[in-house]
Amino acid sequence: MTALRQVLGDSWEFKIEGAHLEIRHCRWGSPYAPPRRPPSWAELLRTLEDAFADRGVPRDACIPLRWGRETELAISAVQALDPLLKHGHPVTYRSGFLPQPVVRFTGERDRNGELLDGYLTSFVNVSRVQPIQGIDEYAGVLDDWLYVLSRLGFHARHISLYGELRTWQRRQVAGVTLMFRHLDLTLGDIVLLWNVENPQRMAVDLGTGLERLAWARTHQDWNDLVFGSLAGTAPGSALDAIRTATLLLGNGITPAARGAGGIARRVLGTLGPASVGLGVSAAVRASHRYWSTIAALPTPWPVIATGIEQELTRQ
């Protein structure tokens, strides 16, 4: 707590009730005006990369989407810290700023099973993951993040942090999590982590979603933001499935009975014939262009579209 107070300074108010912590700027909640011209995905990513670099945090390469360790797919950039946090070794797979494409099935849904606004099956996990030596570095990561947010057009007076000061533990890893939000929209979290048996092996994981950052900044309609001109041309669940399948097949993960391929088959199994009656080429092409902004996809879009249509025919 002392380290956070020193880094944030007198402009931030700390409120503690039991184990619950709330941190707000003293001018929190003042009016917010979205930018007139939303940036392109490439511009948003470039601003993030440049801002992190200004703070001495270089961009590192993505971890493989086909993870094949404790999960079939990459579900978070924090998996780059597995050697340090899970085995207590002084190494990591990646360190620094990672815009990491991930696939998760944990998005919140409505009573009909449709994803709520702000959630996708596949998205870009914008993260800073790195080993640290102590709590002062953790606080410094938060300070750096406020600088990055300012470069994106956010202001500190619209940012707040909250969370429980209790330590949690999951198998070999323990940690403390603080969430951060812009106005009333939770963007992500900053987590202090350590190996239970080797506590000096510490790390920080700061994470949010590229799409959620853009949503908070622009206040656009969620479907328009994510799917662009395709929004409304098919059910959101179908566009989400094609977007995810494009990422999977684009990384060489083809539909199969089990393993990572089984996940691709599961995703495509949600597509009904009526939702793709005119084919999937346009949606695949748009999704391929988006994912390629983050990292090049080895498989060209026509091959992906053919693979999806063949799988749908098999059904």
pLDDT tens by residue, 213-259: 999 999 999 999 999 999 988 889 999 999 999 999 999 999 999 99
Q: Choose among 179, 197, 198: nearest CA to 187.
A: 179
Q: Give the mean pLDDT of 265-277.
A: 83
Tokens 């939770």 identify what position? 186
Q: C-alpha distances in angstroms, 37 versus 110, 209, 289?
A: 31, 20, 21
* Element spanning 264, H or E: helix 259-268
Q: Choose among 77, 76, 79: nearest CA to 98.
A: 77
Q: Cα 191 to chain center, whole Å?
A: 14
- pTM reported for the whole predicted model: 0.94
Q: C-alpha distances in angstroms, 3 versus 8, 37, 193, 217, 237?
A: 9, 37, 16, 29, 44
The pLDDT assigned to 292 comes to 98
β-bridge partners, 185: 182
The pLDDT assigned to 99 comes to 98
d(CA 246, CA 260): 14
Cα atoms found within 13 Å of the Cα of residue 189, Cβ hemisphere only: 16
Q: 315 pLDDT band (50/70/90 cuts)? A: low
β-bridge partners, 288: none
Cα atoms found within 13 Å of the Cα of residue 111, Cβ hemisphere only: 0
